[in-house]
Structure 1
Amino acid sequence: MRIEIDKEQCLGAGQCQLYAPQVFDQSDEDALVELLAEAPPRELHDGVRDAATLCPGGVITLREG
């Protein structure tokens, strides 16, 4: 799995950080998403999928495989 984010469209809701805190963080400066792991280990994939599905701005794109 590879993750891409569109930080410019991020709403700063923080849902991604709640579901996958090892992969996503929020900037202290503007509360926008920060990607910590572009290719997270398999054990984190379920949380990353949840974060992508529940992102209110739809800024997380997953490339599976």
Structure 2
Amino acid sequence: MRIVLDRARCEGHGLCEETAPGLLHLDNDGELVIDREEVGDADAGPANAAVRVCPVAALRLA
């Protein structure tokens, strides 16, 4: 499973970062950075939660 970011939709709210801090973070410019695109079974829960909390639907799992 991979985390996919639609950068044009991302507004930098940071809710995903709070939900899955080991998978993604906001950089100093407020841009979302995906630390680990490939998500294993152990991180599937936080990855799904990060997708769900995004208020602009900028994240999805593929």
Unaligned runs of 5+ in 1: none
- Tell me the distance in 1 between the aligned counterparts of 2:33 and 2:8: 11
What's the TM-score, normalizing by structure 1? 0.86
- Tell me the distance in 2 between the aligned counterparts of 1:5 and 1:28: 18
SS in 2 for 1:34: strand
Residue equivalent to 1:36: 35
Residue equivalent to 1:10: 10
- Tell me the distance in 1 between the aligned counterparts of 2:16 and 2:7: 12
- The one-letter code of the counterpart of 2:4 is E
User: RMSD across aligned C-alpha pairs, in angstroms?
Assistant: 1.0
Deviation at 1:8, TM superposition (A): 1.9
Task: Figure out how many residues of one structure are paired with residues of the other and give that number.
Answer: 62
Do structure 1's residue 23 and structure 2's residue 23 form an aligned pair?
yes
Deviation at 1:55, TM superposition (A): 0.2
Unaligned runs of 5+ in 2: none
- The one-letter code of the counterpart of 1:46 is G
CA contact (8 A) 1:11 1:56 kept: no
